[in-house]
Amino acid sequence: MHTELATRLAQIETDLRNGTLDRAALFWLTVFADATASADSVRSDHWVEQGLAAAADIPGLDAANLAPRRDLVTRYNLFRFVRLKDDAEFSGASLADLDWQRKYRVSLRPEFAWDLPELRSWAEARWSELGGVDPQFAALEAVLEKYVGGKSAAHPHPTPLPQRERGSESGSPLPHGRGAGGEGESSQAPDSLPPRSYLLEILHDAQAIFGGWLPRPAVERIAAALAVPQAEVYGVTEFYEMFYTEPVGRKVVRVCQDAPCGVAGADALLAGLCQHLNIQSGETTADGRTTVEAVRCLGLCDRAPAVLVNHARYAPSDPAAPQMLLDGPPVIPKLRVGGLVKLALSNVGIVDPTSLEEYRAQGGLAALRKALHGMTPAQVMQDVKASKLVGRGGAAFSTGLKWQFAADNPKPRYVICNADESEPG
């Protein structure tokens, strides 16, 4: 191999190992070597088309991102580009002036042309060692296999290396293990549910895999596996505030800003945190360790001012000392039960909550039996109105009146149930 070519390939390997060069650059070098197996050059548009097709089988490889291919071309001076329009030649420093919307003939520099077979072997060997399926995306594949198994709309077992009539595949295979679909195992997901039903669970698992956020290639892979538009997946990630599509700190501190927490000192706590970390609310520290956010109600009003640090619940005893949220264990005061007359919860600790028979023995379902067998619909609605039962939303509207309005409407009637916001029923 030409000495200068060997030196430049060694620099590529060093940069790959140091993380200063994206592995996608090695992928594009491999595609180039493959595309020139029977010729000494390839058209730039054909190079891109072949790469995009091969990348579809490699989870996590963002082939649509121009930056790694541009880095490969401009940083290592391996290539010569000849513009098809006018035969203008670009090499060395002039490669930085390439118009990537134009078409070119791409080849190795003339002094390296005889070493193309050795370059091909080098690229394949390094891809086998340093490329292939990213470990995080291998873990994502295991998650998808766990939830959707063979129902995945996209290839559940990706080909890790772009190949053309090669004898073997390389890269990391799909890991076997719990829920990974290994021999003797079956998916844990019930066949009765469509793959889309597992989107929330998959997003939670994927976000944990990728260090607290969901990169675009991960969202694309999830959407493909569930056969749903990417916009639908992004709609879910944008609706639920604890999903992130941009990097966040390894520790995310969420400070509640609703009324009970505000009265208890949440504003001072948030300001103290930001001052201590030298950031603004919504920002991440320069070392990537901590993100601070102001959020709405966390459902911990009895522990105001309430804070979540990742998923641990905190109730700081001193809002003026925010460092305890960053360095210490969760501070959760012991709850006191008392001061309320138990009605719906009067049998807590007395009956087995999983036993319907014990519930019936304590009078459970008696009112339902009475309503079904001893009352007319009008009588039931009147009793519900008289009970002053209201909806669990903020409007506190009469449940009996809701039923009455529905009954007074002509058929057909439709029931629209809000299935989120932690509302039973």
Instruction: Answer yes or no: is 304 within a domain.
Output: yes
For the chain, what's the residue count? 425
Torsions phi, psi of 390, nearest 5?
Answer: -125, 165
The structure tokens listed for 192 are 């009765």
Say if residues 318 and 263 touch (Cβ distance below 8 Å).
Answer: no
Residues 232 and 199 in one domain: yes
Instruction: Report the CATH number that the domain containing residue 300 is assigned in CATH.
Output: 3.40.30.10
Rounded CA separation 299/242 (Å): 14
Instruction: Answer yes or no: is 303 within a domain.
Output: yes
List, for residues 114-129, the tens digit of each pLDDT value: 888 898 899 888 887 7
Residue 348 or residue 80, greater confidence: 80
Instruction: Answer yes or no: is 333 within a domain.
Output: no
Q: Per-residue pLDDT averaged across 171-198, rounded?
A: 48
Kindly indicate the confidence band of residue 293, based on its pLDDT and cuts at 50, 70 and 90: very high
Quick check: 326 pLDDT over 90? no
List, for residues 327-340, the tens digit of each pLDDT value: 766 556 565 556 66
Instruction: Answer yes or no: is 384 within a domain.
Output: yes
Instruction: Answer yes or no: is 231 within a domain.
Output: yes
Q: Per-residue pLDDT averaged across 245-273, rounded?
A: 89
Residues 313 and 284 in one domain: yes
Residues 7 and 116 in one domain: yes
Residues 279 and 225 in one domain: no
Residues 226 and 257 in one domain: no
What confidence score (pLDDT) does residue 147 get? 87
What confidence score (pLDDT) does residue 197 get? 87
Quick check: 285 pLDDT over 70? yes
Residues 115 and 151 in one domain: no
Other CB atoms within 10 A of residue 414 CB:
6
What confidence score (pLDDT) does residue 1 get? 83
Secondary structure E strands in 133-268: 251-256
Instruction: Answer yes or no: is 418 within a domain.
Output: no
What confidence score (pLDDT) does residue 163 get? 40
Residues 199 and 270 in one domain: no
Residues 56 and 147 in one domain: no
Q: Which region among 39-48, 156-165, 346-355 has the lowest average model confidence (pLDDT)? A: 156-165
Residues 52 and 88 in one domain: yes
Q: To the nearest whole percent, how much of the chain has pLDDT over 70?
A: 80
Of 86, 113, 116, 112, nearest to 99 by C-alpha is 86
Fill in the DSSP letter of residue 332: -
Quick check: 166 pLDDT over 60? no
The structure tokens listed for 16 are 């790959």
Instruction: Report the CATH number that the domain containing residue 8 is assigned in CATH.
Output: 1.10.10
Residues 319 and 401 in one domain: no
What confidence score (pLDDT) does residue 71 get? 93
Give the relative orientation of helices 216-226 and 199-209 as an angle to the nearest 10 degrees.
150
Q: Chain-wide mean pLDDT for the chain? A: 80
Say if residues 29 and 123 touch (Cβ distance below 8 Å).
Answer: yes
Residues 6+ apart with CB under 8 A from 319: 264, 265, 266, 268, 269, 272, 305
Place of tokens 């009147």: 382
Instruction: Answer yes or no: is 341 within a domain.
Output: no
What confidence score (pLDDT) does residue 192 get? 64
Kindly indicate the confidence band of residue 419, based on its pLDDT and cuts at 50, 70 and 90: low
Given 198, 218, 239, the domain boundary residue is 239
Residue 65 or residue 166, greater confidence: 65
Rounded CA separation 137/155 (Å): 13
What confidence score (pLDDT) does residue 393 get? 65
Given 297, 312, 327, the domain boundary residue is 327
Residues 112 and 152 in one domain: no
Quick check: 28 pLDDT over 80? yes
Secondary structure E strands in 84-229: 89-90, 104-108
Residue 32 or residue 319, greater confidence: 32
Quick check: 172 pLDDT over 50? no
Domain total in the chain: 4
How would you label 321-360 residue by residue, b for 16+ Cβ within 10 Å and e otherwise? ebebbeeeeebeeeeeeeeeeeeeeeeeeeeeeeeeeeee
Q: Per-residue pLDDT averaged across 309-313, rounded?
A: 83
Q: Per-residue pLDDT averaged across 232-260, rounded?
A: 91
List, for residues 57-83, the tens digit of each pLDDT value: 776 777 788 899 999 999 999 999 999
Instruction: Answer yes or no: is 298 within a domain.
Output: yes
Residue range of the domain that includes 390:
375-408
Positive or negative, the CA dihedral 316, 211, 238, 196 is negative
Q: Per-residue pLDDT averaged across 6-21, rounded?
A: 89
Residue type for position 47: W
Q: Per-residue pLDDT averaged across 306-320, rounded?
A: 78
Residues 209 and 233 in one domain: yes
What confidence score (pLDDT) does residue 81 get? 95
Q: Per-residue pLDDT averaged across 251-264, rounded?
A: 89
Helix (H, G, I), strand (E, B) or coil at 175: coil
Quick check: 190 pLDDT over 80? no
Quick check: 141 pLDDT over 50? yes
